[in-house]
Structure 1
């Protein structure tokens, strides 16, 4: 079975969402789902230990060349997610995506349009997109 398109997923969410049709319900569930993703990642560090975090200053300077900054940047993460943590995080991301889709439905926003516009912005702004 192939993965559904964003449009198909958004339609499926529209058909399934019964209890949380209020915009306030969906916004708060979306926020809660995002926090659950963060919590699942944190638990993979603090409870399971399959990944470690060692964060420090990236050491960028204004004079640094872009290619050097890209080579120097780090994720601060060591290790790999174990299958249990990967499944837990993937599940929480799925809930987050569900409520994002529900929010799009309530606000009459097409998720494919969101992705397309963001991809266009990334192409136009490139590396400077989120600085």
Structure 2
């Protein structure tokens, strides 16, 4: 079922993408959408104030193991997104996924297959997959 949803989404992107169909348009729109996500997070902290970014050195005890390291790490965010900021961020992430699917279409890649392969990599390598 999930495969169908992702494939249908990718097909819908293919059918709807007219104005920015060039690969250069797609990759620059994808990059722009990444920036808009970053901007939405920054605005939630700086303009709206519903979240606070507390970026400090992560304190990991010397005796921490990979099995329990996540107990000592945080996303360094205090507070919760308000409904308005959540809606903006969800919209921007949606736009990003749209252009990611468009890139997959342009390069003849299947987004669902990429997600499956990445998930298998994470399941196989666990915490070592992104070190």
* TM tier relative to shorter chain: over 0.9
Aligned partner of 1:48 in structure 2 is 48
Structure 1: 4+ residue segments shifted above 6 A = none
Q: Once the 2 structures are TM-superposed, how far is the Cα of residue 20 of structure 1 from its aligned partner? A: 1.0
Q: Once the 2 structures are TM-superposed, how far is the Cα of residue 61 of structure 1 from its aligned partner? A: 5.6
Q: Once the 2 structures are TM-superposed, how far is the Cα of residue 129 of structure 1 from its aligned partner? A: 1.4
Cα RMSD after superposing both structures? 1.3
Return 5+ residue gaps in structure 1 as ranges: none
Q: TM-score, normalised by structure 2?
A: 0.92
Q: TM-score, normalised by structure 1?
A: 0.92
Q: Once the 2 structures are TM-superposed, how far is the Cα of residue 99 of structure 1 from its aligned partner? A: 0.3
Inter-partner Cα distance in structure 1 for 2:62 and 2:123: 23
SS at match of 2:78: strand
Inter-partner Cα distance in structure 1 for 2:62 and 2:104: 39
Aligned partner of 1:110 in structure 2 is 110
SS at match of 1:114: helix
Q: Once the 2 structures are TM-superposed, how far is the Cα of residue 66 of structure 1 from its aligned partner? A: 2.3
Q: How many residues align?
A: 128
SS at match of 1:5: helix
Aligned partner of 1:22 in structure 2 is 22
Return 5+ residue gaps in structure 2 as ranges: none
Inter-partner Cα distance in structure 2 for 1:81 and 1:114: 30
Inter-partner Cα distance in structure 2 for 1:9 and 1:26: 16
Matched, 1:123 2:123: yes
Q: Once the 2 structures are TM-superposed, how far is the Cα of residue 109 of structure 1 from its aligned partner? A: 0.3
Aligned partner of 1:89 in structure 2 is 89
